[in-house]
Amino acid sequence: MRMKGIHLAILASFLAGGGLGPALAEELLPHRAVYDLSLHERSERSGITAISGRMVYEFNGSSCDGYTVNFRFVTEFDTEEFSRLIDEQSTTYEGPDGESFDFAMRSYLDGNLDRESRGSAVPEDGGTHVSVERPEQTEHDLGPSLFPTQHLKDLLEKIAEGRTFYETTIFDGSEAGSKVMTTTVVVGRQAALPATDPEHDLLAAAGDTNFWPVNIAYFDLQNGDATGEGMPTYRIAFKLNEAGITHDLIMDYGDFAIAGQLVELEAFDRVEDCN
């Protein structure tokens, strides 16, 4: 079994936080977060009976030095016949102002290396030029896109402007650096997290329990979108607070969906006014 539609750098980018408004223009917040994963819902045809796992990542850097994300997504899938352990890992570096993007990704199936990719991308001639080292050396040109941290900043800026719906594109290095994904983003009204919510205390310690509900759908338009019927390849729903911290995740892959609950949160020192 392979996880379909997992775009690790995309997911990691939305876990890496920042401030809104004037603070957003300064620095994103470096931090480490841990999420417990569980089965949210499934269809009968998925064959899945249970999912458990953990998602861990670290986000570091600044607008002067660029941003580094180390990310790991470990899930155990159970069916009536067997279990599979999938371990997805990625390391990415995004240069200042989105001038470059380096990616290295590995996927292990039951402890054995299943897939590996490595490469880089730069904006070029109104598009995105990609140089892939693994699984084989190749170069190709894709359409214009934002890299993941740019995509996150764009989301926060749209929220600060009061935008509730927009469309954009993103390149994250997944699928061996072969695709640009189109995204549609929907932002709901700000609300307060109830004190009884299991994530409340962690977010209160970070300074804010107000949040915006965000839904993002990802379309592979190079492949005639996901199904030829206007359905997305996958969706991510989450809550985003003013500190830029993402929580209460739902990752929907069509036949099944995974829930992610924030269980640990550690903020690192922010680089102030590095310019």
pLDDT in tens, 201-217: 988 887 778 899 999 99
Q: Smallest Cα–Cα separation from 174: which of 71, 25, 256?
A: 71
Q: Rounded to an integer, what distance in angstroms lies between the CA atom of residue 134 and that of residue 6? A: 18
Q: Rounded to an integer, what distance in angstroms lies between the CA atom of residue 86 and that of residue 53? A: 9
Domain ranges of the chain: 8-267
Res 267 pLDDT > 50: yes
pLDDT in tens, 124-142: 988 999 999 999 999 989 9
Res 21 pLDDT > 80: no
Q: Which residue has the higher pLDDT, 115 or 175?
A: 115
Res 4 pLDDT > 60: no
**Average pLDDT in the 168-191 region?**
89
Both tokens of 275, joined, read 């310019």
Res 256 pLDDT > 60: yes
Res 274 pLDDT > 90: no
Confidence (pLDDT) at 222? 65
Q: Residues 134, 232, 13, 163: is their CA dihedral positive or negative?
A: positive
Q: Which residue has the higher pLDDT, 135 or 177?
A: 135
Q: Rounded to an integer, what distance in angstroms lies between the CA atom of residue 72 and that of residue 9? A: 10
